[in-house]
Amino acid sequence: MITVNPDACEMAIPDGIFRLEDYTSSKARWCSGCGAHSILHAVKQLCNEQQLPPEKTVFVSGIGCSGRFPHYMKTYGFHGLHGRAFPVASGVKFRRPDLHVFVITGDGDCCSIGAGHWVHAIRYNMKMVALLFDNSIYGLTKKQTSPTSPMGTVTNTHPTGSVLPPINPIQSTLGLPNVSFVAQTVDWKPAHLQATIQKAYAHPGLAFVRIVQRCPVFMHDNYEPTVKDPDAITVLDHEKGIKLSEKELAKFRHVIDHDPSDIVKAREVAELVKKTLPIGLFYQNKEAIRYDEYGAHNMGISIPDRMKAIDHLMDRYAV
């Protein structure tokens, strides 16, 4: 009789190879069915595919349901103040250009209290991936109107329906100087979500990705029709854009050709949102100026030379 030793059947993982579970910290405590779960999985897959060393990877978040993201990654993380994810991440990247930096922000965090930081982070264009978890509601504080809530949304702050037109984060980002990467995806199309995050990671500057995210607790009626209606989404397809396999692309009824090097067309396509939800790469410019390349590290200035320069400047104030 042959006896099998189960331990002997396990595939040996060579030292230095990071597995998916090596990026997993505590169990995510978002609500059941929340779109944030699929985004977390897609990001872990990216880390695994790229073999990002956990000790060289940093997730910086602000406040909101999305803000809990760094707690669930076994990497470095910073769960900071409301709206301040961009400046903290910019500081990390500027001081430590060797780190892989991710910004996790929500529609309230980015487009309301943090809007000033969002504008300037796009302009500074430091190499990092910014993921906007956009559920169009303040979920953590139990259903208040957010800057991206559609007009007429009934919330605790607008019990008879919100009255202002929402911000379109794609359109707004495309209007900023030195913008270099703008993409949109949805949490419920895993192949597209994964391909978008991979493309964003490969971009040499700040990759801004709006992820339309389901909040089944407070915005059930908002995204449910989009999730169920096969006509609700239009995919932007191009050889320079986010590539899906033929099989995945065939799952969408509406596909349009869009060259992501054309910013004028990108702004037009961003307007489509009134009729359908466009997903894909709107714009990419790999040549945009990167502020992190002007840091002392990247200019090759040694630590003693930096200290000498600081001493020289401070001497001006000697009494």
H, E, C per residue of 97-127:
CCCEEEEEEEHHHHHHHCHHHHHHHHHHCCC
| Residue 183, SS3 per DSSP | strand
**Looking only at residues 203 through 222 of this chain, which bind ligand SF4 when binding is defined by CB under 6 A?**
215-218
Q: Identify which of residues 40 and 197 has a Cβ nearer to ligand SF4 in the complex.
A: 40
Q: Which is nearer to ligand SF4, 63 or 179 (CB)?
A: 63
Smallest gap from residue 28 Cβ to ligand SF4 (A): 9
Residues 53-92 that bind ligand SF4 (CB under 6 A): 65
Using rule CB under 6 A, residue 39 touches ligand SF4:
no
Q: Nearest-CA neighbor of 168 among 143, 199, 193, 132?
A: 132
The distance of closest approach from Cβ of residue 303 to ligand SF4 in the complex, given in angstroms and rounded to an integer, is: 44
Q: Find the shortest distance in angstroms from Cβ 103 to ligand SF4.
A: 18
Helices (H), the chain: 6-9, 36-50, 85-95, 107-108, 115-124, 169-174, 190-202, 220-228, 246-249, 263-270, 303-314
Tell me how far apart the alpha carbons of residues 179 and 159 are, in angstroms, rounded to a whole number.
37
Other C-beta atoms closer than 10 Å to the C-beta of 319 total 2
Q: How far is the CB of 222 from ligand SF4 (least distance, A)?
A: 11
- 105 is an interface residue for ligand SF4 by CB under 6 A: no
Count of residues of this chain found to bind ligand SF4 when the rule CB under 6 A is applied: 11
Place of tokens 């897959």: 45
Closest separation in Å from C-beta 30 to ligand SF4? 4
Residue of the chain from 67, 80, 139, 205 that contacts ligand SF4 (CB under 6 A):
139
Side-chain half-sphere CA neighbours of 149 within 13 A = 27
Nearer of residues 41 and 265 to ligand SF4, judged by Cβ: 41
Q: Which residues bind ligand SF4 (CB under 6 A)?
A: 30-31, 34, 36, 65, 135, 139, 215-218
